[in-house]
């Protein structure tokens, strides 16, 4: 069984701008967003994941043009017209748009492929995901960052063993990283009350800032953080620690903590799931 992902990028333009751009250019799925605008307007990404068996001759699970067209139809024929008279403060939340997109795409022909999930990115740092089998369970992923120093070292190992295992990362003075933390929380939005909302962005940021960023930012993890006094601050252990520090407050906010992913560098990350 193979899964295939495809996304489109678009701006929330007015119906008039959409009509103008439709007549001006071909609707290709290039790197640039379409429709687009130079006005201050939300710039979004909408992604669908489908599943099935590839065609034996072509190797295609589904022609991606069909996914593009289905996503575009939702945006151009349903989403943008429905927001024609909305003020900025009246724009719908991402969760409700995602549920509408899932319902719309489930009725589109995709070469026999099965729709698995749909995701909506409000920015490179904030995204939402919904699975076709659980239309009320929505996952929010929010990205944060902090800077810290650490030294990879195990007291139970000899000096030679530490150097052999950790190399330059065993430097007694330590070294630093600009860590990126992705926190994913989920919620059955049918039970959230007051509309389909996972958790407020401000509320989530407050929980993460209080339990993680304010604790770790500009610190030497080995020397300043009690937890790491006897735990080697590897990226694996950092992700597990952050998950533990967040779990209680996330659950108190009515959500489930699905995953914490920590990027030590753009090439290296570790994640912890409950």
Smallest CA-to-CA distance from 76 within 96, 94, 101 is with 101
Smallest CA-to-CA distance from 46 within 58, 35, 54 is with 35
DSSP summary character for residue 194 = S
Q: Rounded to an integer, what distance in angstroms lies between the CA atom of residue 207 and that of residue 227?
A: 19
SS3 content of the chain, % helix, strand, coil (to 5): 35, 30, 30
DSSP summary character for residue 222 = H
For residue 126, CA distances in Å to 15, 61, 109, 119 come to 26, 29, 29, 11
Strands of the chain, DSSP E: 2-11, 43-52, 114-123, 126-131, 134-150, 175-188, 219-220, 256-265, 268-273
Reply yes or no on whether 218 is catalytic: yes
Which of 169, 220, 236, 259 is flagged as catalytic?
A: 169
Reply yes or no on whether 145 is catalytic: no
DSSP summary character for residue 148 = E
Which of 142, 182, 255, 264 is flagged as catalytic?
A: 264
Q: Which residues face 115 on adjacent strands?
A: 50
Reply yes or no on whether 169 is catalytic: yes
Beta 114-123 vs 256-265: how paired, if at all?
unpaired
Helices (H), 220-262: 221-224, 235-252
Which of 145, 218, 223, 251 is flagged as catalytic?
A: 218
Name the residues annotated as catalytic.
Answer: 169, 218, 264
């Amino acid at each position: 069984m193979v899964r295939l992902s495809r996304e489109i990028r678009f701006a929330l333009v007015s119906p008039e701008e959409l009509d103008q751009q439709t007549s001006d250019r071909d609707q290709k799925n290039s790197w640039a967003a379409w429709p687009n605008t130079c006005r201050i307007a939300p710039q979004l990404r909408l992604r669908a994941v489908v599943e099935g068996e590839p065609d034996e001759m072509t190797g295609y699970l589904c022609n991606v043009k069909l996914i593009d067209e289905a996503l575009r139809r939702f945006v151009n024929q349903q989403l943008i017209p429905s927001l024609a008279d909305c003020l900025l403060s009246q724009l719908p939340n991402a969760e409700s748009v995602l549920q509408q997109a899932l319902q719309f795409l489930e009725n589109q022909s995709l070469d026999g492929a099965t729709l698995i999930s749909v995701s909506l990115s409000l920015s490179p740092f904030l995204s939402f995901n919904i699975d076709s089998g659980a239309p009320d369970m929505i996952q929010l992923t929010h990205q944060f960052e902090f800077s810290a120093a650490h030294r990879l070292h195990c007291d139970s190992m000899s000096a030679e063993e530490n150097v052999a295992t950790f190399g330059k990362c065993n430097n007694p003075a330590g070294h630093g990283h600009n860590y990126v933390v992705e926190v994913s929380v989920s919620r059955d939005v049918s039970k959230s009350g007051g509309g389909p909302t996972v958790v407020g962005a401000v509320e989530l940021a407050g929980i993460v800032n209080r339990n993680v960023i304010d604790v770790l930012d500009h610190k030497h993890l080995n020397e300043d953080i009690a937890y790491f006094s006897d735990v080697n601050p590897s990226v694996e252990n950092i992700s597990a620690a952050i998950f533990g520090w967040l779990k209680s407050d996330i659950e108190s906010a009515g959500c489930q903590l699905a995953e914490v992913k920590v990027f030590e560098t753009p090439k290296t990350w570790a994640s912890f799931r409950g």
